[in-house]
Every structure is written in C-alpha cells, then in structure tokens.
Amino acid sequence: MDSEQRKPLLNRKDKRNLTLLLCIILTFTVMNGTMFNVAIPDIAEEFNLLPSQVSWVMTGYILVFAIGSLMYGKLADLFPIKRLLTIGIILFASGATLGLFSPNYSVLLTARILQAMGGATIPALAFIIPARFMPEDRARVFGIVSATVAFASGLGPITGGLVGGAFNWRYLFILSILSLIAIPFLRKWLPNEERKKGTVDVLGALLIAGSITGLLVFVTTFNFIGLIGGFIAFCLFIWRVKTFHSPFIEPAMLKNKYYTATIATSFLGTSAMFGMIFVVPIMARTIYDLDTVQIGLLLFPGAMAAGLIGQYGGKLVQQKGSYPVLRLAFVMVIIGSMLISTFIGFPPYLMALCILVQYMAFPLIQSSTANLLTELVPANRTGVGIGMFNLMNFLSGAISSAVFGALLDLEHIRFQINPFASNGEFAIYSNLFIGLTLISAIALIMFTLVFRHRLVDNKAKANF
C-alpha cells in the first residue's frame, strides 16, 4: 500500500484530546468573528471613522476568512494538516498581537486581515480532521465541532460586551494570542503525513478568490463594480476549469447533483440561521431597548442549548444517518422562525425560548451536512469538498446580513404577512422571520426531492 492510500488513525486517548483541543481553538476563532461586532462603535470613535470605513473591520475579516476556508480545504488534500494548522495559528496570533498595539486604523485593518488568513485554517480543518483521522467516529465529532461553533457564536457578543465595557476593545485580541498554546499539543496529537502528489492551480485559486471578493463587496456595500468584477473573474474561472488539466475545483464534483444539492440546502439553512442571529440584536434593541450584554443574554440560552444538542446530534447522525437528521433540523428552523415571527413584542424570556428552538437546529445542520459530504466526496477530495461547504457557510452569513440589513431600512411597512402575529407595529420583523421560514421550507423541499431516490435505495439496502 502506497503512502497516499495509508490513512494514519488515532487511538482513543488522542482522539479525545485532539477533539477537545480543536473545540477550544475553534471557540477562540468563532468568537473572534463575532465579539468585535459590539466593539465597532468604540473603534469608530477612537480612530474618528465613518460607518462605511469602520465596517471593513468585519467585512475584511469575513472576506479573507471565507476565501481562506476554501483555499485551506484544497491545500489539505496535498499538504500535511499538521503543517497547515501550525502556520495558520501563528498567523492568527501574529495578527492579534499587531491589533493589540495598532497605532492607527490602517494597522488595525492589516491585523484583522492577517488574523483571518490564519484563522481560516481552524474551521476549515476542524471538519477535515475527523473525516481523515477518525472515520468511524466522524459523525459524533462533527456534532461536537458544530455544537462548539453554535455555542461560540452566542458567547462572542457577550464576551465582547463584557471585555470591551470593562477594559478596552484592544483586549479582545488577547484571547486570540492565547491560541499559540495549542501548537505543541496539535503537533503531538496529529498524525504525521507525507506531502501528496499534485499541484495547486494558482491561477484558478486567484480567479475564484476574485469572484468571491467581488460578490462579497457587492452584498456588503452594494457597489456594482464589485459585482461586475466578480462576474468577470467567475467566467474566467469557468474557462480555467474547462481548459486546465488539474483545475482548482474538479468539474466532476460540481456535476454531482447530490453534492451540489447538499451544498445548496446547507447554504439556505445556514442563511436562515445567520439571518436570525443578525436580526435578533437589532430587534431586541429597537423593540425591547436591551443593551449589548442583555442582547447577548437573550441569545445565550439558544447557544447553550445548541452546544448541548450538538453532541447528541452527532451521535444521532452516527446512528440514524445524515438524511433524517438534516430534515429534522430544517423542520426545527421552520418552527423556530414561525414562533419568533408570531411572538415578537411578547416578553423577552418568551422570545428567548422561541430563539432557542431555531438555534438548536444550527449544529444539526452543520454536523449532518458535513457527514453527508464525506459520504458523497471521494477521500482524495475531502479537503476541497468540505472547503466548499465552509465557503458557502461564510457567504451565507455575509449575504443574509446584507440582504436583511437592507430590508430593515423599510421600517415604515405595516403590512403583516403572519396572520397569527398580534402587533402590527413590528410588522417588518415579523415579516422577515416569515421570510426565514420560507427559505428553510425551500431548502427542505429541495433536499427531499433531490435525495428521494437515494433515500429509497438506502431503505431498500437496509431492508435487504
């Protein structure tokens, strides 16, 4: 058996240690993406910035992070994961150190981009490591990783509000610097791998990066130059895929209807989740007049519940399979969105319970989708296959935030779509959550229709 076919596996103790360590550094990374949201006003005040300027503290980070999640996925098919993670964490901590002492906005923006360049390795590889080194436990570990992402996304705003309020927004970078502690343990517990044969299509990578950049610039700033530039880059990328012998993304993968349907439904489901996380803080401030910490506490029960159910959800995927769990998750998003739409204006504790229902679906969508992708994608393309999954997740966050942000400007709307909602004064928020309900319903229908034959085949095999 050659080196490319050998799969270095982990013993039980190393699996447990590595999973725990991945969750810790993943928590730092995800929180780093959300806890700076609450610091934006303070940063703008310190450096005397306009809203359009300071927004790039988040936009630039998301942009590089999204592209990096795909790039590192592709690189993981060729280079040892241990090496990629080491480089990524060093870049992540270096950017944080630069941000901690940044004397001006330009240095701060450079620090955030450097952080994103390194931080993108962690969520990208956190889903690849179980698929490669823990195949028999991958569904369970996917559940734990997804639960960590959901929990950290809710913990980020609270941490940002507490640290930024008690000290200074610069101290938020210290949490990222602490990730350096993980390097020696990762190098000890991750198996050694050899450099695999193959080359990186650099031009193809640059073209796909350009198309994603153009799209994100358009959805975050509504600048049509970005949209045109992204479209041109995407057309050139398609040309590259058709003409180059080893393109960055294999066309056969994109022609697989099950793979593309899984990515598309995950995109829609995650859009609904990020849409909820984006709209709720604005709604809580407008309707309930909650401060930053109180808004974090409104989301916190859902984040805690997601963290708990994610671990159980991974075991459920392992026992029942990805298909029923993913469909259950979409049903939960539909119910949660409908409940929020109906009970807007009711006391915050009731709203927290409605949010909890939808929040619990997040790790189930992530873990079942990641597990399903490992079944659909050949082992030698797992990296880029899951890289596309991560990329679409980050794109869904950026796009849903931009779209719902624009819709929230229509505050004068009083027409209410939901017949069960009692307060027409909050119609715009109620209608937005009806929109999230429809998005989730479309994802559920699409997934069921595409996979119906595959589900029948699986049931026949099970009966046989």
For residues 241-255, give the mean pLDDT.
80
For residue 8, report the phi and psi dihedrals to the nearest 5 degrees.
Answer: -65, 125
464 pLDDT band, cuts 50/70/90, is: very low
What's 63-81 look like in SS3?
Answer: HHHHHHHHHHHHHHCCCCH
Residue 460 has pLDDT above 50, yes or no: no
* Tens-place pLDDT, residues 81-132: 999 999 999 999 999 999 999 888 889 989 988 998 998 888 888 888 888 8
For residues 9-17, give the mean pLDDT.
79
- Predicted confidence at residue 220, as pLDDT, reads 66
Residue 462 has pLDDT above 50, yes or no: no
Cβ neighbours of 261 (radius 10 Å): 18
Token pair for 153: 């996304």
DSSP state of 256: -
Angle, alpha carbons 315-181-116 (nearest 5°): 75
- Predicted confidence at residue 7, as pLDDT, reads 52
Return the C-alpha torsion angle 382, 386, 391, 397, nearest 10. 180
202 pLDDT band, cuts 50/70/90, is: confident
- Predicted confidence at residue 303, as pLDDT, reads 78
Looking at every residue in the chain, the average pLDDT score rounds to: 81
Distance between CA atoms of 149 and 158, rounded to whole angstroms? 15
Pair 58, 36: CB distance under 8 Å: yes
- Predicted confidence at residue 168, as pLDDT, reads 79
Cβ neighbours of 146 (radius 10 Å): 30
Residue 457 has pLDDT above 80, yes or no: no
- Predicted confidence at residue 463, as pLDDT, reads 33
Distance between CA atoms of 429 and 370, rounded to whole angstroms? 31
Radius of gyration of the chain from its Cα atoms, rounded to whole angstroms? 22
What is the total residue count of the chain? 464
- Predicted confidence at residue 413, as pLDDT, reads 66
The mean-pLDDT minimum among 183-192, 345-354, 375-384, 418-427 falls in: 418-427
DSSP state of 136: G
Percent of the chain's residues with pLDDT above 90: 12
Cβ neighbours of 267 (radius 10 Å): 20
Distance between CA atoms of 339 and 433, rounded to whole angstroms? 9
244 pLDDT band, cuts 50/70/90, is: confident
For residues 248-263, give the mean pLDDT.
82
Angle, alpha carbons 226-227-230 (nearest 5°): 80
CA 89 to chain centre: 18
DSSP state of 422: -
- Predicted confidence at residue 114, as pLDDT, reads 92
Pair 370, 326: CB distance under 8 Å: no
CATH number of 12-200+248-463: 1.20.1250.20
